[in-house]
């Protein structure tokens, strides 16, 4: 491929928040093309452009340079208007899809007030020396709440929204910079060229890196924000942080684990300000083997805040002058990362390429683009540094015989692997998974399908066969990463397990009585509670993503798109659009007038009469038939199919004439007042394949990412908790229709006369976060505090004699402490492994029989971290 000459192609551009872009050629046979930052000047997402394309050296990917913009994809922009002065205002590029803010003269603002929501038409685009300017065409008024979707998900997921009054009071006493007295006893690294590398939208930086070479090899410094110095055990902030367990990251919004004064201030390694940190200093030889490690408290000062896109430009030799002072450090990091990656994969670490979704949201909370987020080498660079630090800390604690909270990932069961091997053989794979080390066999098997349509679905199926990663004091290793010892150390701002590891580490390296060990029983309880909090966060992030995707597709109802079949089920096919990273369901009834047979062995649908078939990887043209943001569901039909039910809706029942736009709009509003019924077999975010992807602004090894999984990229972007068969509507449900039901895609069992009343009730339930007079929970109860401190220490804090009360049994303590598991969505009766069970107490052999047909494949959930990556 390297011998191919340059060629000129036309297509659509997608702008990543970090500044680089990806070009989707009109030529369907040509792969997508990476566009570096320096060629994206003046280019806006969804523009039609002409690009000079050439193959990258030594790889299968393509790189390009934008020659010209053929057609602008967006002419009207919506956002909040900010008045800068008496002459100028701007619409901020909050979604990072424009490349710069839109400037508007005050005389062109239609007297819009500060922060009002407006629609603006472009006067000049940023090209040929012109600036990006526009004029307001309509003032929408007070900005619609961009968190409406998110608030609903936060409420339904049971995620704590507000900090306790005690926490807010404690947060007021923190200053903007550390006190000089805090530097005592710490190593001074303020002269070292430590830098942070994160996504463009990141606001909290909890890790900084630096590497130097010496005769032994590479000496790596990973500095992590010293959250444990500020968050004392048992304090109000600590109790709230434990209750949350993790920060939850949504588009343009975050529910933080810590108050902002810490998460974005004292504990964020912002450039050119002193910060307290915990340092993992590791010596590697030139083969990537760690020969020694050291851990200590320090004070540092970041020398640069670098985004992934900017780091990639430096690695490619096109970096900006402003990074000349750290350029050599970035290149040394890249050299070490390549060595560590090669060693890790050689030893059996899985390298699953699971596509991730990037949501571009404007200031009004409206999605303006849904794109596939590609991972750069700069992402992998940071992942490798974080993985190295996590492994080093886990090995150190194990060597000191310190009970710790490990991040574990158990091997998949034998039946799951046999099922996966059968699918691979069906697609033409030749590698047997039962011979040799399983991780290496899996990697080799997936390499056979590289650059083939089946590769994506096989990566997903492999992911689904994995068990779920979790926190536990019982270290069984991390199967996916291939590590014997692994713990989360690098993201204490956003993950409570990392904070626990910091405290345990300090018991060994800091001369202070402030930190104490935890018993294995207390660690086991913490592992259970914090794993549940992580699952709660992941589910909420997936749900918001599916809602935003459905909201985005509403404006394309009736339009046709090219797509590829991403999955086949007995109730229809899932089609992934080529232009947007969105997929939807095409039901059997909308595939054509024929009888369809599902071939589970080959994942194929075949028509009995015509012999026509649908297979994974087939190209297909579809029409958008329905999108329901409330349920997060999207339905397509095969292009050319008539939608009689929908056509009927456009006709007036009395006159027989086509309804006016006003009538259709009124009816659409009324329909939205009716509560749509969601079939149990395919619940919103679990139906959607796209929800398994995470934002590229997250840090994680693709491997960890896969097991929860994305787990360690700093840990961000999953897998479906159910197979498509379990998500699809049952045949009987497809046949039965309510005669009064207007839509053939989403059910409606509410009578129209009750609609308005139920709408009011629903609104009250959804948005009344804290009813008057209701006192909010103030963090974990006393039992949780007892778990962290230990029974004896807890009694001392209460002014009681440590021996004056009978000790509770460990089981009773655990039952009282595990409040997260008491919620219905996490209780055993609702667990994925038990909810489909049909107990047969008369026949012991059938006692564990379940109603699904998963073939023994264990369901995996993948944790979406935050905007950096799970390894962090």
pLDDT in tens, 164-173: 999 999 999 9
Could you tell me the pLDDT band of residue 709, with boundaries at 50, 70 and 90?
Answer: very low
Please count the helices (runs of H) and the strands (runs of E) in the chain: 23, 33
Query: Can you tell me the mean pLDDT for 29-52?
Result: 88
pLDDT score recorded for residue 561? 92
Do residues 702 and 693 touch, judged by C-beta distance below 8 A? no
Say how far residue 860 (Cα) sits from the centre of its chain.
15
Separation CA 46–CA 42 (nearest Å): 12
Hey, which of 223-227, 319-323, 656-660 has the most confident mean pLDDT? 223-227
Residue 381 has pLDDT above 90, yes or no: yes
| 32 vs 396 pLDDT, higher one | 396
Q: Identify the pLDDT of residue 750.
A: 39
pLDDT of residue 868: 45
String of DSSP letters for 24-88: EESSTTSPPEEE-GGG-TT--TT-EEEEEEEEPTTSS-EEEEEEEEEE-S-SEEEEEEEE-SSSE
Residues contacting 459, CB < 8 A, separation 6+: 352, 353, 354, 446
Average pLDDT, integer, range 194-218: 93
Express as a percent the part of the chain with pLDDT over 90. Answer: 35
> Which region, left, alpha or beta, applies to residue 205 given φ > 0 means left and ψ of -120 to 50 means alpha?
beta
Q: What is the separation of C-alpha 803 from the centre of its chain, rounded to a whole number of angstroms?
A: 47
Task: Determine the average pLDDT of the residues in 725-744.
Answer: 41
- As a whole number of angstroms, the distance between CA 314 and CA 330 comes to 7
> Distance (Å, rounded) from C-alpha 690 to C-alpha 274?
41
Rounded Cα distance between 190 and 485, Å, is 31
Q: In this predicted structure, what is the pLDDT of residue 373?
A: 74
**pLDDT per residue over 579-616, tens digit each?**
888 889 999 888 877 889 998 877 789 998 888 899 88
- Whole-angstrom distance, CA of residue 568 vs CA of residue 599: 9
The highest-confidence range among 190-194, 369-373, 765-769, by mean pLDDT, is: 190-194
pLDDT at 348: 82
Q: Above 70 in pLDDT, residue 310?
A: yes
According to the model, what pLDDT value does residue 49 have? 92
Alpha-carbon separation of residue 7 from 1, 23, 306 (angstroms): 13, 14, 32
User: Which residues are bridge partners to 297 per DSSP?
Assistant: 278
Q: Is the pLDDT of residue 68 over 50?
A: yes
Q: Return the residue matching tokens 């139920």.
A: 758
496-509 helix and 520-553 helix, angle to the nearest 10 degrees = 150
Q: Is the pLDDT reported for residue 412 higher than 70? A: yes
According to the model, what pLDDT value does residue 281 have? 97
Q: Flag the least confident range among 236-250, 476-490, 545-559, 766-780.
A: 766-780
Name residue, tokens 């027989």. Answer: 656
pLDDT mean over 314-322: 87
Q: What is residue 477's predicted lDDT score, i.e. its pLDDT? A: 93
DSSP 520: H
pLDDT of residue 141: 58
pLDDT at 273: 95
**Residue 242 predicted with pLDDT over 50:** yes
pLDDT at 756: 52
Indicate whether 486 pLDDT > 90.
yes
Band of pLDDT at residue 356, cut at 50, 70 and 90 = confident
For 239, the 3-state DSSP assignment is helix
Among the residue ranges 132-136, 500-504, 578-582, 821-825, the one predicted with the least confidence is 821-825
Contact 839, 847 (CB under 8 A): yes
Q: Give mean pLDDT, residues 667-678.
A: 47
At 375 the pLDDT is 80
Q: Enumerate the H helices of 400-495 as residue ranges.
A: 414-426, 438-447, 454-465
Give the model's confidence band at 794: pLDDT under 50 very low, under 70 low, under 90 confident, else very high.
Answer: low
pLDDT band for position 686 (50/70/90)? very low
Q: What is the pLDDT of residue 230?
A: 95
102: its two tokens? 């839109």
User: What pLDDT is recorded for position 644?
Assistant: 45
Q: Which residue has the tokens 């994942």?
A: 603
**What pLDDT score was predicted for residue 508?**
94
Of 130-144, 365-379, 529-543, 833-847, which has the strongest mean pLDDT?
529-543
Phi, psi for 22 (deg, rounded to 5): -130, 135
696: pLDDT strictly greater than 50: no
Question: Which has the minimum average pLDDT: 93-102, 619-628, 666-675, 823-832?
Answer: 823-832
Check residues 441 and 733 and name the one with the higher pLDDT.
441
Structure tokens at 277: 């940190």
Of 413 and 205, which is predicted with more confidence? 205
- Can you tell me the mean pLDDT for 335-341? 96
Q: Which is it for strands 33-35 and 62-71: parallel, antiparallel or unpaired?
A: parallel
- The SS3 call for residue 5 is coil
Residue with tokens 């997929």: 583
pLDDT of residue 864: 42
What's the pLDDT score for residue 337? 96
pLDDT at 786 over 80: no
| Segment among 31-40, 454-463, 567-576 with least mean pLDDT | 454-463
**Residue 795, pLDDT score:** 58
Percent of the chain with pLDDT strictly greater than 70: 71
- Tell me the per-residue pLDDT of 86-141, one tens digit each, with 9 for 90 and over: 899 998 887 677 888 899 999 988 888 887 778 888 999 888 778 899 999 888 65
Token pair for residue 113? 């007030």
Band (pLDDT 50/70/90 cuts) for residue 842 is very low
What is the pLDDT confidence band of residue 800, given thresholds at 50, 70 and 90? low
Least confident of 37-41, 153-157, 300-304: 153-157
Mean pLDDT of 816-843: 41
105 within 8 A of 77, measured Cβ to Cβ = no
How remote is the C-alpha of 422 from its chain's centroid?
30
Q: Is the pLDDT of residue 716 over 50?
A: no
| Alpha-carbon gap, residue 221 to 196, rounded angstroms | 12
Task: Work out the mean pLDDT of the chain and round it to a whole number.
Answer: 76
| pLDDT at site 754 | 53
DSSP single-letter state for residue 262: I
Q: What is the mean pLDDT of residues 303-325?
A: 90
Q: What was the pLDDT predicted at 266?
A: 93
- Gyration radius of the chain over CA positions: 28
Least confident of 77-86, 258-267, 724-733, 786-795: 724-733
Cβ(510)–Cβ(502) below 8 Å: no
């Amino acid at each position: 491929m390297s011998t191919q000459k340059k060629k000129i192609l036309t297509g659509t551009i997608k702008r990543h928040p970090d500044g680089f872009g990806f070009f989707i050629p009109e030529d369907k046979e040509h792969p997508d093309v990476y566009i570096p930052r320096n060629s994206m000047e003046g280019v806006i997402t969804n523009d039609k452009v002409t690009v000079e394309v050439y193959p990258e050296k030594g790889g299968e990917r393509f790189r390009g340079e934008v020659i010209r913009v053929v057609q602008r994809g967006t002419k009207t922009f919506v956002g909040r208007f900010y008045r800068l002065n008496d002459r100028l205002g701007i619409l901020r590029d909050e979604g990072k899809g424009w490349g710069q803010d839109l400037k508007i003269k005050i005389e062109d603002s239609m007297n819009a007030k500060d922060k009002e929501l407006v629609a603006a038409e472009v006067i000049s685009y940023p090209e040929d020396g012109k600036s990006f300017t526009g004029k307001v065409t309509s003032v929408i008024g007070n900005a619609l709440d961009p968190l409406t979707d998110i608030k609903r998900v936060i409420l339904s997921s049971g995620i704590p929204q507000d900090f306790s009054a005690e926490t807010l009071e404690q947060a007021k006493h923190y200053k903007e910079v550390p006190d000089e007295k805090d530097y005592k006893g710490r190593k001074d690294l303020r002269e070292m060229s430590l830098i942070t590398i994160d996504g463009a939208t990141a606001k909290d930086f909890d890790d900084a890196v630096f590497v130097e070479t010496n005769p032994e090899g590479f000496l790596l410094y990973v500095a992590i924000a010293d959250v444990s110095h500020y968050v004392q055990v048992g304090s109000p902030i600590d109790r709230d942080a434990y209750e949350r367990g993790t920060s939850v990251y949504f588009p343009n919004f975050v529910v933080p684990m810590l108050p902002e004064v810490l998460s974005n201030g004292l504990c964020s390694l912002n450039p050119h300000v002193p910060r307290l940190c915990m340092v993992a200093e590791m010596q590697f030889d030139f083969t990537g083997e760690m020969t020694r490690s050291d851990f200590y408290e320090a004070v540092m000062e970041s020398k640069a805040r670098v985004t992934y896109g900017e780091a990639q430009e430096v690695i490619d030799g096109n970096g900006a002058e402003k990074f000349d002072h750290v350029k050599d450090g970035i290149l040394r990091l890249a050299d070490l990362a390549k060595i560590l990656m090669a060693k890790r994969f050689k030893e059996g670490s899985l390298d699953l390429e699971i596509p991730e979704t990037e949501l571009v949201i404007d200031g009004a909370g409206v999605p303006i683009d849904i794109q596939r987020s590609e991972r750069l080498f700069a992402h992998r660079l940071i992942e490798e540094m974080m993985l190295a630090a996590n492994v080093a800390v886990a090995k150190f604690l194990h060597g000191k015989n310190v009970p710790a909270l490990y991040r574990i990932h158990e091997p998949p069961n034998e039946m799951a692997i046999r099922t996966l091997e059968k699918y691979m053989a069906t697609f033409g794979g030749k590698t047997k998974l039962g011979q040799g080390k399983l991780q290496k066999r899996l990697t080799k098997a997936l390499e056979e399908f590289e650059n083939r349509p089946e590769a994506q679905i096989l990566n997903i199926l492999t992911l689904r066969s994995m068990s779920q990663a979790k926190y536990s004091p019982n270290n069984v290793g991390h199967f996916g990463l291939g590590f014997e010892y692994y713990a989360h150390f690098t993201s204490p701002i956003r993950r409570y397990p990392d904070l626990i590891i910091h405290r345990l580490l300090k018991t060994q390296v800091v001369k202070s009585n402030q930190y104490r060990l935890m018993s294995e029983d207390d660690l086991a309880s913490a592992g259970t509670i914090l794993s549940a909090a992580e699952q709660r966060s992941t589910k909420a992030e997936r749900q918001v993503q599916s809602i935003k995707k459905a909201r985005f597709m509403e404006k394309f109802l009736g339009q046709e798109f090219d797509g590829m079949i991403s999955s086949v089920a007995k109730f229809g096919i899932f089609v992934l659009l080529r232009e947007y990273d969105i997929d939807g369901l095409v039901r059997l009834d909308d595939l054509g007038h024929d009888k369809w047979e599902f071939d589970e062995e080959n994942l194929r649908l075949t028509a009995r009469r015509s012999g026509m078939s649908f297979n994974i990887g087939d190209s297909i043209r579809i029409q958008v038939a329905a999108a329901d943001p409330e349920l997060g569901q999207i339905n397509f039909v095969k292009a050319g199919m008539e939608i009689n039910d929908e056509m009927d809706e456009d006709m007036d029942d009395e006159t027989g004439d086509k309804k006016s736009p006003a009538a259709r709009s009124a009816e659409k509003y009324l329909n939205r007042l009716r509560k749509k019924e969601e079939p149990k077999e395919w619940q919103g975010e679990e139906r959607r394949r796209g929800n398994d992807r995470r934002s590229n602004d997250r840090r994680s090894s693709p491997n960890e990412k896969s097991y929860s999984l994305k787990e360690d990229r700093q840990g961000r972007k999953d897998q479906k908790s159910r197979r498509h068969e379990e998500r699809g509507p049952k045949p009987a449900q497809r046949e039965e229709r309510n005669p009064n039901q207007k839509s053939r895609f989403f059910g409606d069992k509410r009578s129209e006369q009750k609609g308005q009343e139920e709408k009011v009730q629903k609104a009250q339930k959804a948005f009344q976060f804290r009813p008057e007079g209701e006192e909010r929970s103030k963090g974990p109860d006393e039992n949780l505090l007892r778990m962290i401190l230990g029974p004896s220490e807890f009694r001392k804090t209460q002014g009681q004699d440590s021996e004056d009360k009978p000790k509770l049994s460990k089981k009773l303590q655990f039952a009282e402490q595990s409040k997260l598991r008491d919620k219905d969505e996490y209780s055993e009766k609702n667990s994925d492994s038990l909810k489909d069970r049909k107990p047969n107490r008369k026949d012991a052999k059938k006692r564990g029989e379940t109603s699904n047909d998963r073939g023994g494949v264990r369901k995996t959930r993948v944790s979406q971290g935050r905007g950096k990556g799970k390894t962090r």
